Amino acid sequence: GESVGLHLPTLSVQEGDNSIINCAYSNSASDYFIWYKQESGKGPQFIIDIRSNMDKRQGQRVTVLLNKTVKHLSLQIAATQPGDSAVYFCAEARRDSSYKLIFGSGTRLLVRP
C-alpha cells in the first residue's frame, strides 16, 4: 500500500567515511544518467551526470560509476559530511526520447556525527 513507498532504503554512515549509493536502471537503451540530491522540502539538485560512452566520471568529492553490462550505476561520496544527508535519486534518459528522465526510487543517506 501507500506506506511501502515511505520506507526508502537507508544508508547510515559515519561523518568522514566514504559513502556508496547504488542504483539499478531499467532500460539498456538509456544513454544518459544523472544523480540528484533532494533535501527535505526542496526540489532535486543536480550532483553529477555521465553518458553511456563513459565508465566513470569524477566531480568534487563525488564519483559516478556506470556498469552497462549489469545496468548498474553508483554514486560515491568521499569524506561524507552532515550536509550530505538527503535522499539521492538516480535517473536515466535517452537522447532519442528528449532526455525525459526516469527516476529510481531513491536512497536516504544519514550521516552520523
Q: Which residues bind to another protein, rule: CB under 8 A?
A: 2, 5-8, 32, 34, 36, 41-46, 49, 89, 91, 93, 95, 98-106
Residue 50 or residue 77: which is nearer to another protein going by CB?
50
Residue 38 or residue 76: which is nearer to another protein going by CB?
38
Residue 69 or residue 98: which is nearer to another protein going by CB?
98
The rounded distance, in Å, linking the Cα atoms of 108 and 90 is: 12
The rounded distance, in Å, linking the Cα atoms of 31 and 29 is: 6
Q: Nearest distance from residue 8's CB to another protein, in Å?
A: 5
DSSP conformation class of 40: T
Q: Nearest distance from residue 9's CB to another protein, in Å?
A: 10
Residue 33 or residue 79: which is nearer to another protein going by CB?
33
6: cell is 515511505
Q: Nearest distance from residue 17's CB to another protein, in Å?
A: 25
SS3 state at 5:
helix
The rounded distance, in Å, linking the Cα atoms of 20 and 22 is: 6
Q: Nearest distance from residue 83's CB to another protein, in Å?
A: 18
The rounded distance, in Å, linking the Cα atoms of 44 and 71 is: 23
